[in-house]
Amino acid sequence: MPTTFGREILGRDVVDQAGDKLGALADFSIDMGSGSITALLVNLEPDLDPSMLPWPTVEGLLSVPVNEIADVSSTILLAR
């Protein structure tokens, strides 16, 4: 089930609360002990400066904690 879920949402647009696109979901960060997803790794839009965003960058991808997700549908909506 998680593998199917992962394939289904990879590549979806990640948008902020205002509806502005931050980028596309590239991968997940997973807690190896629990198997829980801890963060979404987002491939940022080229015109965005990652230093202006409240989340860290990991290996060139924006790392958004899962508690920042408001909704997952055709896009991934962040809480702020």
Tell me the torsion sign for CA atoms 10, 19, 54, 48: positive
Which pLDDT value is given to residue 64?
97
Question: What top-level class would CATH report for the domain 2-78?
Answer: mainly beta
Nearest Cα to Cα of residue 78 among 11, 23, 5: 23
Band the pLDDT of 8: cuts 50, 70, 90. confident
The domains of the chain are located at: 2-78
* Across 43-63, average pLDDT: 95
Query: Would the pLDDT of 1 be above 50?
Result: no
